[in-house]
Structure 1
């Protein structure tokens, strides 16, 4: 650029015989180039970057040491503000600067600031930490040490005794319930038919003892069976001594 300016100056001196109007125009153009040359040179040789720096404070404006400061640049930058101060070199653009103070992986205080860098230079952004400003879903929950819980001995004997007692009570209640609900099971139709067939073979009359022996029934079952048949009107029982005479009724 400086070389171009010198060439134009030399050309202007060589053409002093031009008319006065052209000479003034060329001279003004040279002055403009000379004025803008340093700015153009600086823009071509200096990158479009800025320095962002600042200090991390608590609510009492005391420096906070060892806070973690991050900026959402590409790639993301993160530093530990050991002495409470931080610094980033960033290209022009918009950024979010975050600071967090951690204790045993739990966020105690947090701060967020946004900045838009339009021109190169140095920007001072101080961060003030506020307690519990981090959204709940991003707060690191404190891990629970379950080793103490696992290490404790649990006496399960009382628990087992309680469960066994409840089971026994339920079992007794079920037995009582079913006994009350239990009804006398009616005899199968085949047993009644066998009794009727046997009485017919005996001429329509026989004894209860003979029926019991023929059908291989117990005395109690035979008595219940004949009582049911009597209630249905199939037979007639006549008491004779210690036994009963069974007479088949004709329908």
Structure 2
């Protein structure tokens, strides 16, 4: 009888142990919105790094995922003509079961604006090994380098002075008013960006702006930086891209 009772207890604890250690299931759901219209964005692909990873294709912008307790990273993508047009990513931690709401704002998928990668200095190890004669030759080049720098500096100051004089005469550049009411010179290419922003309610992404300008990506980035320094526009980081905002004083 005692043996039978022991066997029954072992069977009882065997059955309830999996239930007591079962993972609590949580639900993550929400809507993927277009950043500009704030309308649900259809055909959005949502991925979450569960084990194994889950992928959810939302036809109407709504999504719902069942996950165990833990911390997760979500990414959402929207393609048009096989090209990535919108992208966003979010982190979330869930615990204790229940439903969690996580709405996603889909931003334009703009390429990274770093035009050049940082060089790998290990590639230059052989170049740094030089004998004493080569070092002497380098020291002999120092006066020539200094002279070259002086010439470039003088030339730069001369061109800057000539440009300032030309601006004062008002022959090649437009004029706009700053917040204090004084006049500042604005080159034609920068004025073109300002006019485009005005036509788009003072707000558009850098990717959209690049499509309307006949310039390279690097030049447009430098032009926007120039406008930022003048206090005319503000560049706001959004996801992997930038949104350009025209200051209200313009």
In the superposition, the TM-score normalised over structure 1's length comes to 0.35
* Greater relative contact order structure (CA < 8 Å, 6+ sep): 2
Larger Rg: 1
In the superposition, the TM-score normalised over structure 2's length comes to 0.35
Higher strand share: 2
